[in-house]
Amino acid sequence: MTKFKGESVYSGIAIGKLCLYSKNEKKIERNHVTDVENEKKRFEDAKTEAINQLKVLYDKALANVGETNALIFEVHQMMLEDLDYIESVLNIINTQGVNAEYAVGTTGDNFSAMFEAMDDAYMQGRAADIRDITERLLNILNGSNTDGLKLEEPVIICAEDLAPSETVQLEKDKLLGFVTRQGSANSHTAILARTMDIPAVIQANIEMLPEYNGKLVALDGFTGNIYLDPDEETLSEMKAKQQKCIEEKELLQTLKGKENVTQSGQVVQLYANIGNTKDVAAVLKNDAGGIGLFRSEFLYLESSDYPTENEQFLKYKAVAENMAGKKVIIRTLDIGADKQVDYFEMEKEENPALGYRAIRICLDRPEIFKTQLRALYRASVYGQIAIMFPMIISVSEVLQVKEIIKEVKEELKAQEIPFKDVELGIMIETPAAAIMSDELAKEVDFFSIGTNDLTQYTLAIDRQNPKLGKINDSHHPAVLRLIEMVVKNAHANGIWAGICGELGADTSLTEWFLKIGVDELSVSPSMVLKVRKQVRETK
């Protein structure tokens, strides 16, 4: 038996044959050409074909992993239309009189190196996307297969790295888990693995040796351990752990329809976070009591231009109707930082996480904000909608928001368009909002604590920087004290307080959340029953 170690990005146990997946290393030759126009046409044709392939991949991902996770393939399509990338390829062909393959390969190397050299962790991650679209173009130009790895039997994939397009093309029923020697916990592929419920380990110290191919492997997605040719004792231990996982999942299904109540009778609301209308099916499947966070920015990220009032209205209306009277809390536009939208034409910032984002954009561009608010209020008559505003740091911002809402209501009344008054809340994501929560509570109906950003800003740690992962501690006493302060100030002013960040699903804190009086936990749909189990076991 040989043991290897990596970083877990999704828990679970997988036992099966190891399948080494090596990309075909393409030797790109630099050939002089006499007909540069033909080479430019070859590139343009390859680009068109690549975009068509990505559209097919988008549809496949949409069916398998949902709209939010399929978004990466729309992003890749946009990257293929990027003028800087296109102009670089065409310029190399023109000025050097070379073949399209060489121009594409050189541009891909240059652009990926440029992204990797950036200080921002999110932008560094885009280097993998550049390599992905470049390889797709080269495959098309060379006439190579772009359909990915075909699996004959269930296996555990082992690769240097996996591009999102490669991951989504793998047959889910034949993929037991995957191991990569590279990758990051914030990569699109890691996100897809979590969505597809596949045990996954990255940054593993396993070698890609041919003799490993086909050997039995036990993959522990909880610890990041990989056992090649496990001995009988280890194999027995992994099988027992795997069986326990299966039994736990089956047990969780019995909790559907049960109350989120402790043994002492304390009740907490258990809601789900979603990014689009298609995620509602997962909310209902996992028996969530409502939607605690609808990330409306995905309507903007998925569009090539500002979504109209009616486009937004139809989306919000559909979610409200599908939830059949259960609460739907919709967060207003939260772009900026790592969520950039080209048509907003925002200037590059040295530190976007501390920059022009979320409510700051909405108050600065009220015409965009009013369009969304009109759509939300129009949809309010079709269900129990509530609205919350992100990145609030002051009472004056809340007052500005309420003034714009007043204008929107007056416009709708004048146009005889029906709407209902709805609950208004704010995200508590900054130390400023937490410290001012006693004053802010007087102006709103509820708080929702965004623990991801609250941790980032409290600890002054970029949550996307993999080098800081070990000290990015969401259990830090300073973070927990701020959460407790927010809940206390909310209750003192007669409003409720919930948590919608990743910490809400951390069952090691569930008992503490209940102790300090958190009223609502909003988690990913797949975590609802797990948290319910923890609540019901709390005394």
Q: Does the pLDDT value for residue 291 go beyond 90?
A: yes
Q: Is 360 annotated as a binding residue?
A: no
Question: What letter does residue 151 receive in the DSSP assignment?
Answer: P
272, 523 Cβ separation under 8 angstroms:
yes
By DSSP bridging, strand 216-220 and strand 225-228 are antiparallel
pLDDT of res. 315: 92
pLDDT of res. 372: 96
Q: Give the residues across from 339 on adjacent strands.
A: 336
pLDDT of res. 122: 60
Q: Is 429 annotated as a binding residue?
A: yes
Averaged pLDDT, 178-195: 73
What is the rounded distance in angstroms from the CA atom of residue 250 to the CA atom of residue 257? Answer: 15
pTM score, whole prediction: 0.66
Q: Is 452 annotated as a binding residue?
A: yes
pLDDT of res. 488: 98
Following DSSP, what letter does each residue of 58-113 receive, concatenated?
A: HHHHHHHH-HHHHHHHHHHHHHHT-HHHHHHHHHHHHHH-B-HHHHHHHHHHHHHH
pLDDT of res. 66: 65
pLDDT of res. 357: 83
pLDDT digits (tens, 9 = 90+) for 298-352: 888 777 888 999 999 999 999 999 998 999 999 999 876 656 677 777 777 777 7
User: Which one-letter amino acid corresponds to residue 131?
Assistant: R
pLDDT of res. 201: 93
pLDDT of res. 115: 79
pLDDT digits (tens, 9 = 90+) for 146-164: 555 667 789 999 988 877 6
**Alpha-carbon Rg for the chain in angstroms:** 25
19, 206 Cβ separation under 8 angstroms:
no
pLDDT digits (tens, 9 = 90+) for 29-53: 899 999 999 999 999 999 999 999 8
Q: Which residues are catalytic?
A: 188, 500
Strand-by-strand arrangement of the 175-180 sheet = 2-5, 225-228, 216-220, 13-21, 155-159, 175-180, 200-202, 7-10
Q: Is 365 annotated as a binding residue?
A: no
Nearest to 527 by CA among 286, 269, 362: 286
| 3-class DSSP assignment, residue 348 | coil
Q: Does the pLDDT value for residue 264 go beyond 60?
A: yes
Q: Does the pLDDT value for residue 189 go beyond 70?
A: no
427, 448 Cβ separation under 8 angstroms:
yes
Q: Does the pLDDT value for residue 476 go beyond 90?
A: yes
447, 415 Cβ separation under 8 angstroms:
no
pLDDT of res. 143: 81
504, HSE (Cβ side, Cα atoms, 13 Å): 33
pLDDT of res. 131: 86
pLDDT of res. 74: 82
Sign of CA dihedral 158, 164, 169, 170: positive
pLDDT of res. 28: 85
pLDDT of res. 411: 97
* Tokens describing residue 459: 């600890």
pLDDT of res. 148: 56
**Structural domains of the chain, with CATH:** 2-18+150-234 (3.50.30.10), 36-142 (1.10.274.10), 253-537 (3.20.20.60)
Of all residues in the chain, what percent carry a pLDDT higher than 90? 59
Nearest to 94 by CA among 38, 135, 137, 146: 38
Averaged pLDDT, 235-260: 90
Name, of 174-183, 469-478, 484-493, 530-539, the range with top average pLDDT. Answer: 484-493
Q: Does the pLDDT value for residue 281 go beyond 90?
A: no
pLDDT digits (tens, 9 = 90+) for 416-468: 999 999 999 999 999 999 999 999 999 999 999 999 889 999 999 876 676 77
Q: Is 331 annotated as a binding residue?
A: yes
